[in-house]
Structure formats: C-alpha cells, structure tokens
Amino acid sequence: MGAVISGLVGAVKGVKSVIGVIRGLSADYNEVLARANKSPGLPVANPTVAFWQEDPPFPELVDVRSAELPQTADIVIVGSGIAAAAIARSVLHESRRTGKPARRVVICEARSLCSGATGRNGGHIKPSAHESFARLCKRMSPQRAAELIRFQLRHLDTFVELCRAEHIDIAECREVETADFFLDDDDFSKAVGQVEELRKWVPEHDVSVLTAAEAREKFFVNEQVKGALAYKAGALWPYRFVTSIWNKLLSDFPKSLSLETAMAVDGIELGSAADFPYAVSTSRGTIRARHVVHATNGFAPHLVPGLRGKAIGILAQMSAQRPGRNFPDLDGRRSWSVIYGSGFDYATQRPTSPAGVPGHVLLGGGFSLGPKQGMENIAVYDDSKMGALANAHNLGIMAAIFEPNWGPPPTDDQGGKNYVWSGIVAISADAIPLVGKLDPRVVGRKVKPARKTDSEHDDAAEWIAAAFVGDGMVWAWLSGTALGVMIMGSDEEELAAVPGRPGGKLYDWFPRELLPTYKRVKKMDLMDLAEEIM
C-alpha cells in the first residue's frame, strides 16, 4: 500500500483507470469530488488487522499513554507513523545537539501506535524512478525532477544505515533486487523509453532491461511476462521499524516525549496564552501547544480545511501470503512489481526463518477491481472494509505469472496462514507530498508573531508532512527528518551527516518543491491530477 504504487504510486495507478471511464461514470465521479471536498473525519475504531501488527515487539507501546494528559507542549504531533517518528526524532536530536532548552513533544494518536498507513503498507523501499521522472517532468525541469528522484532513492541507504546504527535487526531492513514485470508489449516499450530518458539525468541509477526470454530465465516467470526491468530497491518491516524508533526515543528522552494513543484530535483553536497559542482539543482534554504538526497522511484535511479537495485518502488493499511450494527461496532478497494496463501490483518477501521456512510474500494491488473500477475507493477512509475481488486478485497474481514455478500451497507446518487487510494511502492534487510550514490561510488560524525580545521562543506555527502519494517508504522518513530541522530553525546550518539524516544544508538534499506554499496549495486541483495521468 505504501510501497511503490508506481507513477503517482499506488492510488494513482488506480485513479488512472478511473479517469479513463469518467465520461461513462460522471455521476460516480461527482460523488468522488463531493467526498474529496469533505473532511475525512477520524480513523475508524475497528480497522482490519494487518500482518505486520501481529506479535508486536514492544507490547507495552501498543496502547501507551501517560497517566495524566500533558497540559502544555512545545510541539504536538498528530499521528504516530513513520513521518511522525522521523519528525520527533529529528526535533529531539537537534534540540540536544544545539543545547537549546529541551522541547516537550506530545504525540497524539487516534488508535493504537503506528496503526495507520505505516503499519499497513508493503514495506517496499522502491521508487519507480523511470515512471516518476517522466511524470515529474510534466511539472518541472528535468534537472529538478532528477533531484526529487534522488531524494527518493536516498531513502534506501538511509534506512539501511540507520537500522545498522540503531541495531534495529527486527525490522529486517535489507537491499533487494527488484523486477518490474510487464504483461503488455506496449507498456514495456513505453517503460524502456522512460528508462532511456532517466539515464540522461540520473545516470547513477542503474536499470537493466530484460527481454521476455531473459526475464523467464532470470526470474522464473512464465510467458505472460513480455519484458522486465531490474534495479536495486529495499524492503523492511515498517511497523517494527517505527515502534523501535519510538522505543529508543522514549529511552533517550523520557522527560521530553509523551506518546498518547487512543486519543483523537478533534479540533484546533487559538487560545489566549502567548507562549502556547494553540488549544489542541483531544478526546482526553486540551493541550496548549506552541507548534502543531500534521503527520496524518490522508487524514490531514480533517484538521487543515484548506487541503480539502487538494489532498485525499484512498482505500487500498494488502496481503501476506505463503509462497507456493515450487517458489525459489531467495531469503527475502528479491521484490517484484506487476504492470498490466491501468493496474499495478507490488510485492516483497520476508527473509527465510531460522527454521528454514520461506517468508511470507507481502503483496498489494488490485485497486481497480471493484464495481466502479476503483472509483468507490477514492476519498474513502474506512479501513475496516475490503473488496472481495481485490483480495482474490492479490492472492492469485503471483501464481498467474510464476506457474509452474509457484506450485501448490504449502502444508500447515510450512509457514502459517494468509492475511488480507486494507489501509488508507494518500495523494495530493499535484502528486507531490506536502512538507513544511503551513500558511495560516490554509489552516484558517493565524498566530501573532513572537515578541522580538523573546529569545526563548520562535514563531508558533502549524506544519505538515503528509500526502505521500502512496509511496511513503521513499518519501516519508527524510521528509519528516527535514521538517524537524525546519521546526528547530536549523535549515540554513551546515549539519554533519548522521545515521538517518544526510549532511549539509537542508536544501542541499531536501527538494523545495515539497514545501506547502500558499501559492502551491491554492493552485492545486484534483482535476489537474486527472489530466496529468491521462
């Protein structure tokens, strides 16, 4: 779900198929627009159960909360997924580095810890760079598009280095060889052309092009595959990674960080206190805050009215399935994508267990296989629901392209059961994430600037790291890390590289195109997205 849903990644592929039938489904499309312009509300209380969240490594953190609700906070972060963890870590580490007064950070999570998009995605650290580059070039120069691609590509080495430095072995973070399988000759030819163009601007990203025969020999697929692309990518267990980060932060900053689960934020108002001007209304009471950070991905428009109709959530589906008995055991070192017309599926495989049992295959997709070609999933925020056709597709596509090298299901003692679940991915109207300080005109709340003589406090503000276009694993961590640097006012400093963050000045590695300027947000329109992906 949050893995590589190529192009606009995930949702966008489904949206593309939807747009193709707009003329015949205008009433349905109008319903989509109506939903998109409303508040998404709060996450449902009874979501489907994701494979990732079973047997949590830190049970005490699942429903963690303080005995008493903090009354004030320097920074309230709404959300507890990968972006929120990166923001909190960046703020706390930067506060310690600079010697500034310790920042009090409070995390507000409506459900259990990391139960949203991060805890439900595919764990696939894979940008479809060739397709993303072609799309981005419609909006900006190839030089700038190349920098956005490099930002995405940087995530793999960042994750691997950070997991090694923090000893997060339980996250199973690893480099993999990935393969894109094309089931149509025209789609394959188009992709090869995109790869050739990408090579001119991002030559360091090595992509191999394989014919159908070469793909069959190397990847064990059958004659359904007309060609393939192969390149470096990565995979990890996202829930374990994020909860490990939270556990380490609580250990390192016990007096500065509070995690408050089962505590929805239902409103933000301006209060009378100059030092803590925001009154953050929650299900447990009000927190007065100096900064508020929106890290809720598809749910961000709930508290940011100016994003309604400009950033939306989309219901998507995932599976964890036991590989067939004939499937080659590569110890989790390979991943796959299947591209077919307007559809797109993505898959990773966990490493082999110490007992020699092949890991589950984590596969998401089947978006357009619904009664309204996927339109019924757009601007829908209920992850307690699933579509039967998408589940059937997701549990059958691997056998369809790998037989006879997939084989019959394993026996009960060879790897456990299959799982299916859903989650909410997010997309912005210009198909680029929103990361940075929010303009008061977008949030509908304006705080007076800090007194010039007040050296302890910077200007209070609202911030965002959200709308990761269905591909959070190659956007969210460094976006959240960058946002923490911005909040701490260190964006113009030359910072040393540390595990989890590149070195240099912020805008040496963070693309300014992600900033949610008022001009950008005002211009955003979902119809532009429809036109772009036609």
Across 523-532, average pLDDT: 77
- Residue 410 confidence class, pLDDT cut points 50, 70, 90: confident
Give the DSSP letter of residue 49.
Answer: P
pLDDT value at position 29?
A: 77
Other CB atoms closer than 10 Å to residue 251's CB: what's the count? 9
- Separation CA 59–CA 299 (nearest Å): 26
Instruction: Indicate the helix (H) or strand (E) that contains 194.
Output: helix 185-201
Average pLDDT, rounded, for the chain? 91
- Residue 528 confidence class, pLDDT cut points 50, 70, 90: confident
Give the DSSP letter of residue 472.
Answer: G
pLDDT value at position 532?
A: 53
pLDDT value at position 451?
A: 59
| Residue 533 in this model has a pLDDT that exceeds 80 | no
Across 362-377, average pLDDT: 88
pLDDT tens, position by position, 47-95: 999 999 999 999 999 999 999 999 999 999 999 999 999 999 999 999 9
Which of the two residues, 527 and 37, has the higher pLDDT score? Answer: 37
- Name the H helices within 118-172: 129-136, 142-165
φ, ψ of residue 443 to 5 degrees: the values are -85, -20
| Residue 411 in this model has a pLDDT that exceeds 60 | yes
Among 14-23, 315-324, 514-523, the minimum mean pLDDT is found in: 14-23
pLDDT value at position 409?
A: 87
Among 50-64, 149-163, 369-383, the minimum mean pLDDT is found in: 369-383
Across 418-430, average pLDDT: 96
Query: Do 123 and 238 touch, CB atoms closer than 8 A?
Result: yes
Across 393-419, average pLDDT: 88
pLDDT value at position 80?
A: 98
Other CB atoms closer than 10 Å to residue 212's CB: what's the count? 19
Give me the percent of the chain exceeding a pLDDT of 70: 92
Q: Is the bond preceding 142 in cis, omega lying within 30 degrees of 0?
A: no
Q: Identify any residues that bridge with 17 across adjacent strands, giving them in sequence order.
A: none
φ, ψ of residue 388 to 5 degrees: the values are -65, -40
Strands of 401-519 (E only): list them.
Answer: 419-428, 434-437, 461-466
pLDDT value at position 26?
A: 66
Counts of helices then strands in the chain (DSSP H, E): 16, 17
Query: Do 322 and 98 touch, CB atoms closer than 8 A?
Result: no
Euclidean distance between the first and the last CA atom of the chain, given in angstroms as a whole number: 22
Query: Do 245 and 89 touch, CB atoms closer than 8 A?
Result: yes
pLDDT tens, position by position, 298-350: 999 999 999 999 999 999 999 999 999 999 999 999 999 999 987 889 999 99
Helix axes 476-487, 82-98, angle to 10 degrees: 40
Instruction: Name the region of 235 (left: φ>0; alpha: ψ -120 to 50; beta: rest).
Output: beta
| Residue 285 in this model has a pLDDT that exceeds 90 | yes
φ, ψ of residue 3 to 5 degrees: the values are -80, -125
Across 30-52, average pLDDT: 94
528: three-class secondary structure by DSSP = helix
| Residue 1 in this model has a pLDDT that exceeds 80 | no
Query: Do 287 and 71 touch, CB atoms closer than 8 A?
Result: yes
Burial of 291 (0-12, 13-18, 19+ CB in 10 A): buried
265: three-class secondary structure by DSSP = strand
Residues in the chain, overall count = 534
pLDDT value at position 413?
A: 65
Query: Do 352 and 278 touch, CB atoms closer than 8 A?
Result: no
Radius of gyration of the chain (CA): 22
Burial of 451 (0-12, 13-18, 19+ CB in 10 A): exposed
Query: Do 118 and 511 touch, CB atoms closer than 8 A?
Result: no
pLDDT value at position 457?
A: 54
- Separation CA 295–CA 117 (nearest Å): 11
The full DSSP string for 176-188 is EEEEEEESSHHHH
Residue 101 CA from chain centroid, whole number = 32
